[in-house]
Amino acid sequence: MKKIIVIVFAVLMAIPAVQAQKSYDQFEVQVDGLGCPFCAYGLEKKFKEFKGIKKVKIDIETGDFSFTYPSEKALTIEAVEEQVKKAGYTPMSGRVTRADGTVEEMGGVKEAIASDAEIVTESTFVAGNCEMCQARIVKASTDVFGVSTAVWNKDTKLLEVSYDKKATTLDAVEKAVAKAGHDTKNHQAKNGTYKSLPGCCAYERVEY
């Protein structure tokens, strides 16, 4: 009888512990501007303001930043985006996988391409080195109204964009990419913007 009482007591004691287990949402963000360990420390320190954050990982080379957060707090991807900006960096892409399996992407709904759009696909040279460059180039391209898709190959240095020729041009896309810090076939980034890129993104360029 004593053994039965002990077992029941042990089970009852374990119930609060099980109930105390929390479910977590998984956040993944690609951050532009992380050039050194100090930058990573600054970003992590800013996110420590989110009480309950766990499993923080930052890859300086790729700009990948991930962490988990209690799902009960319902942290939004928009709040994460804003916190990255407050830390002094630029969020280029991001997603959250909720504890229930649903996935939310950063950026919201992009403007729909018109039903009568005349979509064309063209390629152009864009200088860059790494995955962080890739994310920056693609973001700059797709932020141009009228662009539906953009793909940059870090080996060939070619950017392939599909866009509505009634709404924009390849030249406009090149200008946007150059403004983000990457030389293109027809447009060169400003020296200040180029020099502000993280070390891994310092591609070789032709000085005019």
* Range name among 10-19, 106-115, 117-126, 171-180 with the lowest pLDDT average: 10-19
pLDDT at 18 over 60: no
Give me the CATH topology for the region 119-201. Alpha-Beta Plaits (3.30.70)
Q: What is the pLDDT of residue 194?
A: 94
Tell me the pLDDT band of 11, cut-offs 50, 70 and 90. very low
Give me the CATH topology for the region 23-105. Alpha-Beta Plaits (3.30.70)
Average pLDDT along the chain: 86
pLDDT at 157 over 70: yes
Amino acid at 160: E
> What is the C-alpha separation between 60 and 89, in angstroms, rounded?
13
The mean pLDDT of 135-142, rounded to a whole number, is 91
Residue 124 contacts residue 96 (beta carbons within 8 Å) = no
Q: Where exactly does CATH 3.30.70.100 map onto the chain?
A: 23-105, 119-201
Global pTM?
0.67
Q: Which residue has the tokens 């891994």?
A: 200
What percent of the chain shows pLDDT beyond 90? Answer: 63
pLDDT at 152 over 60: yes
* Range name among 3-7, 103-107, 132-136, 199-203 with the lowest pLDDT average: 3-7
pLDDT at 129 over 80: yes
Higher-scoring residue by pLDDT: 134, 13: 134
Structure tokens at 125: 């040279």
- In order of 90, 166, 202, the CA distances from 148 in angstroms are 22, 13, 28
